[in-house]
Amino acid sequence: MRALTLTAARTFEWTTLPEAVEPGPGEVLVGIRAIGICGTDFSGYLGKMPFIEFPRILGHELGVEVLAVGDGVTHLKAGDRCSVEPYLNCGTCHACKRGCTNCCETLQVLGVHCDGGMRERMVLPAHKLHVCNALGFEQLALVETLAIGCHAVNRAQVAAGDEVLIIGAGPIGLTVLEFARAAGAVITVLELNAARREFVAKHYAGVRVTESLADEGAFQVVFDATGHAGSMAGALRYARFTGRIVYVGITKEPVGIDDPLFHRRELTLLASRNAVASDFPRILGMIQSGQIDTRPWMSHRCVFGELPGKMEEWLKPEARVIKAVVSLEQ
């Protein structure tokens, strides 16, 4: 079975894996049909993702087809189309017992801590698959991305009428935008990249988008989706008294905090990691109903065999990538 392995920074190699085994009890054999490429994949490719070690098979945004089910699996059947919840949690640690499976103490995220979906087939726990035969594989591959924004907005407890600032309009910032809008927030997007500002202005009527802000202390909730330490440190100044700041992006670098400002305004600083199982069916329903339209996001596509040559191309600013999706030939 063919797989694509990241063996070092900026180095992909085609490898041959043993054929996926038949699924055991509670497991499912799936064929990988679509893979979304996200910031984590790009960071891992560049050697900048703190949780990725080489060699690693990337790929955690997956649209899959069920090929076979193991004993005890009753909610899935061969031929079902599914989105994958790629967070493999233990179920017994303090976080898992509290329902916070997204930050299990021994969490293994497919394509990050353990090998992921840049392969033809794999066996997965059945309870990590969310079926929706009404959607295409590309749409299913984007559900996990959307779940990141869904969880972040839930963490921030965004309410109707809240003035929200989103710093960074890459794919993760856009997912936050989708759910902040669904919550009824008044939204401003701060983005330096002109192409991304243009995308937001075109597809999100009523959202203010700008490359600079002079009005400090103007927002009840501030999301930083850049993964840039300087931006994350500076995000605090945009939050008003009693405001909340949510770090959605992640960086290897230390993030400095202006403590007098933090205390004076009695701010709340939150991290948001991954998503929880209940986010996935909600998102599938929102895509089906048309409340979320992922089609404009899919700016770049390739087939699996082309992917090694595409990563460098997609990293260039002039490529204007919003979301890249890889299809696997059947």
Q: What pLDDT shows up at residue 50?
A: 83
Altogether, the residues listed in the chain come to a count of 330
Q: Which residues contact 60 (CB under 8 A, 6 or more apart)?
A: 38, 40, 84, 86, 109, 110, 111, 112, 116, 117, 144
Domain range summary for the chain, segments of one domain joined by +: 2-142+294-327, 148-271
- Quick one: pLDDT at residue 144? 97
First to last CA, the chain: 13
Domain 148-271: assigned CATH number: 3.40.50.720
For residue 215, the model assigns a pLDDT of 78
pLDDT at 102 exceeding the cut of 80 = yes
Task: Compute the average pLDDT of residues 18-41.
Answer: 95
- Residue-wise pLDDT for 169-180, tens only, equals 999 999 999 999
Q: How far apart are CA 86 and CA 280, in angstroms?
A: 11
The answer on pLDDT for 251 being more than 90 is no
Locate tokens 């893979």: which residue?
A: 35
Architecture of domain 2-142+294-327 in this structure: Alpha-Beta Complex (3.90)
Helix (H) or strand (E) holding 195, with range, is helix 194-203
Distance between CA 250 and CA 232 in Å, rounded? 9
* Cβ atoms of 296 and 203 closer than 8 Å: yes
Other C-beta atoms within 10 Å of 300: how many? 16
Q: What is the mean pLDDT of residues 112-129?
A: 97
Dmax over Cα atoms in the chain, in whole Å?
60
Taking the alpha carbons of 139, 143, 149, 155 in that order, is the dihedral positive or negative?
Answer: positive
**Residues 70, 123: Cα–Cα separation, whole Å:** 10
> Residue 330: pLDDT band by 50, 70, 90 thresholds?
low
Distance of CA 296 to the CA centre of its chain: 17
pLDDT at position 192 is 96
What pLDDT is attached to residue 49?
85
